[in-house]
Structure 1
């Protein structure tokens, strides 16, 4: 069982799931950081993945998550995104006593998702909001903007843009662009667009290029993801 919905925090998604425990769940990279609560593991932070993460849970394990939009996580968690890349870490490792207080609120029987949302919003306000460059870069790269052109638009050289992207997203602009392009392609395919047309619409050279890129990032070809 899995469900999600948008929340008042712009671009963020609140989701919940209960594990069947029969096989790993393939979580695709998306440039996001998640604040997580598990009935078996407590409070965690999921960093930005470069390739698909295979999540293994016990049968009946309940998960509640807050998926922050690309570029917002560092302001909420207080660390650069690249320090969390490809990692799942206890929230206490980042927040210390503050994480204990959040855990106490969850243990009190309060609505877990509401607590996570309130905490994330408060942290974001205290940090002065996210770096506004994050949303712009993610939007332009998601739309297929060439990395060089995007760098010129924001007045940064290639190295400076790469460093900024590491802090905001956990990887450089080319990797982020590949990940966002893959997600755009899969969204088109799930909406019923044939893969041959998806490849052109999403900016791939051809369908073979699309298949190779998805396999590199997701670990399986597009057809397997679409059947799942």
Structure 2
């Protein structure tokens, strides 16, 4: 019988989370290629008995998963992690940090509860959903504006902010400035289209790239491999 090694479980936007996910143990030690997506994950490693914070990434990250290790995680929507973490997103940019470094003893108690839980996925979701209060209120408008292709100046103007103010708030919320966020959102859209079978040149145009060569350069830079290899 086929068993999915990795499975995602969609969650309500009200939780501030994209999804919860589970990676089941494998007999070999796989290496996972993690690419930028604008998100931050919390991951419980069953073998270590530890919860880690992952991201936000600005480039590819290769993560070795020991044989027999089960991972359970939650993925925050872009800009939604800082209230739950208790630190701005740039404090964990391109990093893998023990949650205990940010939460102290509550993170250790959470790891103990996860180890003894029949359904650790639900325990992890309950522990982080809504923790710490609301995110910066500009977050949804920044994500929506940049995703639709508006310039940084246009997004700042819609929000009544200077570009400097928008950058400062974006770094705290997303881990990097709005130009980097827009680049990552565009990359993710192109990859989704290509994965759905859209020809690369069409996917490049739909996502807002100058041409397919531009898309190819961005994928190599952000993912570390050509688009076909990433897919």
Structure 1 and Structure 2 fold alike (TM over 0.5): yes
Change (3 A) 1:189 1:27: same
For residues 28 and 79 of structure 1, what CA distance do their matches in structure 2 show? 22
> Which structure 1 residue ranges, 5 or more long, are not aligned?
none
What secondary structure sits across from 1:205 in the alignment?
A: coil
What is the CA distance between 1:142 and its match in structure 2?
1.9
Structure 1 runs of 4+ aligned residues shifted over 6 Å read none
Is 1:28 the counterpart of 2:35 in the alignment? yes
Say how many residue pairs are matched: 223
For residues 161 and 80 of structure 2, what CA distance do their matches in structure 1 show? 20
Is 1:100 the counterpart of 2:108 in the alignment? yes
For residues 17 and 142 of structure 2, what CA distance do their matches in structure 1 show? 14
TM-score, normalised via structure 2 length: 0.92
Match of 1:159 among 146, 164, 167: 164
RMSD: 1.4
> Which structure 2 residue ranges, 5 or more long, are not aligned?
none
Match of 1:88 among 96, 112, 124: 96
For residues 5 and 26 of structure 1, what CA distance do their matches in structure 2 show? 20
Change (3 A) 1:148 1:98: same
Change (3 A) 1:11 1:144: farther
Match of 1:207 among 201, 205, 212: 212
Is 1:146 the counterpart of 2:154 in the alignment? no
What secondary structure sits across from 1:76 in the alignment?
A: helix
- Identify the residue that residue 18 of structure 2 maps to in structure 1: 12
TM-score, normalised via structure 1 length: 0.93
What is the CA distance between 1:160 and its match in structure 2?
1.1
- Identify the residue that residue 120 of structure 2 maps to in structure 1: 112
What is the CA distance between 1:36 and its match in structure 2?
0.9
Give deviations 1:92-142, integer Å, cap 9, x for gaps.
10000111221221122342111111011251xxx3322221122112212
Give deviations 1:120-169, integer Å, cap 9, x for gaps.
1251xxx3322221122112212222211111111111211111111000
What is the CA distance between 1:222 and its match in structure 2?
0.8
Contact 2:30–2:66 (CA under 8 A) maintained in structure 1? no
For residues 143 and 55 of structure 1, what CA distance do their matches in structure 2 show? 31
What secondary structure sits across from 1:132 in the alignment?
A: coil
